[in-house]
Amino acid sequence: MSADPDRTAGADAGATETLPVTEGVEADRLAELLGDLVRRRDEHLNADAAFEVHPDDVQETLFTLRDEAGFDHCSCVTAQEYDDRFESIYHLKKYDDPTQEVSVVVPTDKADPRSESAEPVYRTADWHEREAYDLVGIEYDDHPDLRRILLPETWQGHPLSKDYDQDRPQVVTLQEHANPLEEDHKDSESDTMFLNIGPHHPATHGVLHLKTTLDGEQVADVDPDIGYLHRCEEQMCQQGTYRHQIMPYPDRWDYISAGLLNEWAYARAAEDLADIEVPDYAQVIRTMSAELCRIASHMLAVGTFALDVYGDFTAIFMYAIREREKAQKVLEDLTGQRMMFNYFRLGGVVWDIPEPRDEFFERARDFLDGLPQATQEFHDLLTTNEIFQLRCVDTGILPPETAKSYGATGPVARGSGIDVDLRRDDPYGYYDELDWDVITQDGCDNYARVLVRLREVEESAKIIEQCLDLLEDWPEDDREIQANVPRTLKPDPDTETYRAVEAAKGELGIYIRSDGTDTPARFKIRSPCFSNLQTLSEMAEGEYIADLVAALGSLDIVLGEVDR
Amino acid sequence: MAATPLQEDVTLLPETIARTLGLDAYGFAGQILAALIGAFIVGNVMLAMTGVAGPWAKRKITAAFTDRIAVNRVGPFGLLIIVADAVRLLSKELIVPENVDRPAWDLAPLVVAGSALLGFAVIPMGNGIHLADPEVGLAYVFATASLASVGLVMAGYASNNKYSLLGGLRAVAQNVAYEIPLVVTGVSVVIFAGSLRMGEIVAVQRETLVVLAGVPIPSWFAIVNPFAFVLFVVANLAEVGRNPFDTPEAPTEIVAGYQTEYSSVYFVLFYLGEFVHIFLGGAIIATLFLGGPAGPVLPGFVWFVIKIWAVFLFTQWARSAMPRVRIDQLMEIGWKGLLVLSFANLVLTAIIVGVIA
């Protein structure tokens, strides 16, 4: 197989053959397991091993890795174009141990970029491959439904491919556009009704369009249509310099006050790529501020979920907003911003805790002191309410195996009893020095997901408390907020890494490939909401329309992050 | 026990008007004119209350429940928002979507708003404000109140919108399911009172039940039969479509249900109609269970208004604090829960009254 004539990486094969093989017994064992499927070993900074396989061997390779080596989490599919080939990278992990990572690299021919779809192995690959097809232009054989996902069906060209003509006008006549109203008529043969939920609807939490087929009040089929908020975030990050120009963008992915968590995803990936060591003091500040963001974000999630189940503006929503507001006040004191923080820098944070420090600590502690009472209020008003339980227990069921297959992470996975949290399993920041717990619930339903969020708020408060203690006692002459990072960062060419952090919604990962310049050659965002949203049809089909709305609310998606 | 009518000096409002204005002299035509004037007065009082409730009181009440301030910029306590909102709502463009079923679509808001107002004709509001007191008073009130379902179905079907259709279907399913317990519970009161006549029902409740520490406790049916009272209040919540039973509108599920496509004046009519309905529900509760306009010190009419506002407050409280049940759960609660309980209540009441009497 190594002598395959249509090997696409032929041109630089001689050069890359000599690449150092990633060390480790695990990598060799995997190589042995895959045997002839592996055509070449590549190096990714994050992964134990990166195997290059033939486009026709994708499913076989992935099945082997999933079933025999336990890589049950396809966290991301990155597609990119080189001068001589297209490449799809499947970033695989294990739910049990996310530090065990393997990348499966599938190079495809430049003229006819086709490779086998991974959808039969990991259902999450469905959307990820559609995105790859949409933006880069790789076609996947055996894919159940390969059409554009972020851009309109009528879009001309693939924006992240090298021959994309930006100046080509994208004017499409009305006739050519698929008319959403066309399907709006009842089929005379069937008893179902097609209903467009969104893009403007009170419960879609943004511009999401659910193509729903109703059988009476029950959902027979639901197909989320995304892309309304696609803002070319990946493209923009590819045009920014590592050092300063990329950091403001992450704030705009999950814009529901979870900005610092997103910034951390980029910081972690870029620091890994450029080998930057972050001082401990900065790590503590990062940990504290990120957890504040998590509280703010979870509060909004619980509040809007209550909105979906209660209807109108109810007490619970305002209570949640009130707590979020308090967290935001502390964040504002720290970063000067309420939502678009831009506070992290590669190698640390932009500035220290504001003077007078005592005042800041006091305000932060005030917030934490009030929090137990607030969460108790939520339990009194929300989770112990019988009608709420009637609505949420045993609705929107997401079994753990399904969740894993769809690559669900964060509170959605933990609500299905999957014990996964990157803060603990793949430690970064200061988390492994602190005392806190990962919350899981076995309910697999809407109720479990809400409980996870509420209890995670309590854990976050614990983390912040400890960070505040540490910061208060930190010796004054050792408060280093930033490592010494060169003004212009130019990581070594052809270094690739995929790094993820536990954002409010789950695993937020960034894949960066450098080409020796000061901007990334490929910047891919693995958004937790994107994967989580895929589970919606599993959760909602066969349930009532009210449960569809509740399930959507319990997923806590932010369209800014889904569409990027 | 209620064989002899307890009502004394039953002077209805039209009669008072006729006598005051000297319309008696014109015979039947005079009576009609007096009745119209009376209806005009009562209707406007109710609409004025709705006007206060819709744009202002509802906001203030909800704000109090949710830790906010609400309108406070226009006029004292933001009261002039009523004027501002009226102008705003009435000056909006009336958008008529394509392919709506025209006469039905136009009539629906009128039916909804009108049906609720009709009910007030037989409600005794104290101080002689009582338009008519027919033998079948209670049956009439229930009949007019349920006319609204027709309006909702018309709106839902004629709007040519799937959300409206779903809302209309939900509304009619819900009203049918909850009207039966409502009426059956009402009947248990009739068994006590021995009459469907509203004036009579109020009069019966004037009797003193017990004297506690020198304070006479009237035999309001809420005190005599609290079980029926609770059933009635719950069924009434469903009847007026407020949380936990606001499924016909369910903003986060089906946008606004049957009223999705309505704008401007038509929307105002729906909006008003809903509030009039809540007040009518309050008036029925006050009449059947809370002694109508009875109360110490203050004049009867004031007590009556206080009572219906208390019911309004209760619906707003429920709205702010209770989750909405799903449509199938709603049906289950209605048919399997409330219906059974209301019949149990009816049978028990019948037995008790039979044994005592």
Q: Which residues of A touch B (CB under 8 A)?
A: 193, 195, 201-203, 217, 306-315, 317-319, 322, 381, 385, 387-388, 390-391, 544-547, 549
pLDDT of residue A483: 84
pLDDT at A4 over 50: no
d(CA A276, CA A497): 14
Kindly state the tokens that stand for A373. 């009472």
Give the pLDDT band (50/70/90) at residue A295: very high
Encode pLDDT of A387-431 as tens digits.
Answer: 888 888 888 889 999 999 998 999 999 999 898 888 888 888 888
Per residue in A350-377, pLDDT tens?
Answer: 888 888 888 899 999 999 998 988 888 8
Q: Which residues of B touch A387 (CB under 8 A)?
A: 244, 322-325
A245 with A109, same domain: the answer is no
Interface residue ranges in chain B relative to chain A, Cβ cutoff 8 Å: 62, 65-68, 162-163, 166, 243-244, 246-247, 249-255, 319-329
Picking from A210, A371, A314, A537, the residue whose alpha carbon sits closest to that of residue B244 is: A314
Q: Report the residue from B67, B247, B324 with minimal CB separation from A319.
A: B67
Contact check, Cβ <8 Å, B320/A315: yes
Three-class HEC string of B28-89? HHHHHHHHHHHHHHHHHHHHHHHHHHHHHHHHHHHHHHCCCCCCCCCCHHHCCHHHHHHHHH
Q: Report if residue A177 sits inside a domain.
A: no
Please give the Cα distance from A77 to A99 (Å, whole number).
18
- Specify if A347 maps to a domain: yes
- Using 50, 70 and 90 to split pLDDT, how confident is the model at A314? confident
Interchain CB distance below 8 Å, B329 and A390: yes
Size of interface A-B (CB pairs under 8 A): 85
Range A68-76 average pLDDT: 86
Count Cα neighbours of B310 within 13 Å in the Cβ-side half-sphere. 13
Q: Which of A9-13, A408-412, B246-250 has the highest mean pLDDT?
A: A408-412
- pLDDT score at A289: 92
Chain B residues within an 8 Å CB radius of A317: 66
Chain A residues within 8 A of B329 when measuring between CB atoms: 390-391
Q: Which residue from A193, A202, A314 is facing B321, i.e. has the nearest CB?
A: A314
- The residue behind tokens 């305000």 is A363
pLDDT beyond 80 at A312: no
- Does the distance separating the beta carbons of B243 and A202 come in below 8 Å? no
In terms of domains, do A275 and A398 share one? yes
Q: Is the pLDDT of residue B25 over 80?
A: no
**Number of separate domains in chain A:** 2
How far away is chain B from the Cα of A544, in angstroms, using its nearest Cα? Answer: 8
Query: What local confidence, expressed as pLDDT, does residue A9 receive?
Result: 39
Per-residue pLDDT tens for A88-132?
999 888 888 888 888 888 888 888 888 888 888 898 998 999 999
Subunit contact A217:B320, Cβ cutoff 8 A: no
Q: What's the CATH number where A82 sits?
A: 3.30.460.80
Structural domain harbouring A397: 233-563
pLDDT band at A184 (very low <50, low <70, confident <90, very high): low
Per-residue model confidence (pLDDT) at position B2: 42
Residues counted in chain B: 357
Q: How far apart are the CA of B126 and the nearest CA of chain A, in angstroms?
A: 35
**Amino acid A16: pLDDT:** 38
Residues A246 and A121 in one domain: no
Please name the residues in contact with A398: beta carbons below 8 A apart, sequence gap of 6 or more: A408, A412, A415, A416, A444, A445, A535, A538, A539
CATH number, domain with residue A355: 1.10.645.10
Residue B201 identity (one-letter amino acid)? I
Determine whether B217 is exposed, middle or buried from the number of CB atoms within 10 Å of its CB (0-12, 13-18, 19+).
exposed
Q: How confident is the model at residue A266 (pLDDT cuts 50, 70, 90)?
A: very high
Q: Quick one: A126 and A237 in the same domain?
A: no
Q: Residue A308: its chain B contacts at CB < 8 A?
A: 252
- For residue A187, what pLDDT is reported? 57
Query: What distance in Å separates the CA atoms of residue A395 and residue B286, rounded to the nearest whole number?
Result: 39
Site from A197, A214, A314 to mutate, B interface, most B CB atoms within 10 angstroms? A314
Same-domain check for residues A370 and A264: yes
**End residue of a domain, out of A82, A113, A141:** A141
CB contact under 8 A, A193 and B162: yes
The domain boundary residue, chosen from A122, A141, A160: A141
Residue A247 has pLDDT above 70, yes or no: yes
Cα–Cα distances in angstroms (integers) from residue A427 to residues A254, A264, A525, in the given order: 22, 13, 20
Which residues on A lie below 8 Å from B251 (Cβ)? 202, 311-312
> Stretch A435-452: mean pLDDT, rounded?
89
With cut-offs at 50, 70 and 90, classify the pLDDT of residue B344.
Answer: very high
Asked casually if ipTM beats, i.e. exceeds, 0.85, the reply is no
The beta-carbon neighbor of B324 closest among A310, A315, A318 is: A310
**Residue A183: predicted pLDDT:** 55
Q: Least CB-CB distance to A313: which of B66, B255, B328?
A: B66
pLDDT of amino acid A7: 40
Confidence band of B10 (pLDDT split at 50, 70, 90): low
What φ, ψ does residue A288 adopt, rounded to 5°? -65, -50
Interface touch A385/B325, C-beta < 8 Å: no
Please calculate the CA angle B182-B186-B192 and round it to the nearest 5 degrees: 155
Same domain flag for A401 and A507 = yes
Show the CA angle centred on residue B201, arms to residues B198 and B205, nearest 5°: 140
Residue of A nearest to B64 (CA): A315
With respect to residue A196, please indicate whether it lies within any of the assigned structural domains: no
Residues A70/A76, Cβ–Cβ less than 8 Å: no
Is residue A183 a part of any domain in this protein?
A: no
Banded pLDDT at A463 (limits 50, 70, 90): very high
Q: Would you state the pLDDT for residue A287?
A: 92
Reported confidence tier of residue A267, pLDDT bands at 50, 70, 90: very high
CB atoms within 10 A of CB A299: 29
**CA distances for B11 relative to A125, A133, B129, angstroms:** 79, 82, 9
Residues A135 and A265 in one domain: no
**What order of strands is seen across the sheet that includes strand A520-526?**
A496-502, A507-514, A520-526
Domain endpoint, select from A124, A141, A158:
A141
In sequence order, the β-bridge partners of residue A197 are A210
Provide the percentage of residues in chain A whose pLDDT is more than 70: 92
Confidence band for A21, pLDDT divided at 50, 70 and 90:
very low
Question: For residue range B63-98, what is the model confidence (pLDDT) as tens digits?
Answer: 888 888 888 888 888 888 888 988 888 898 888 888
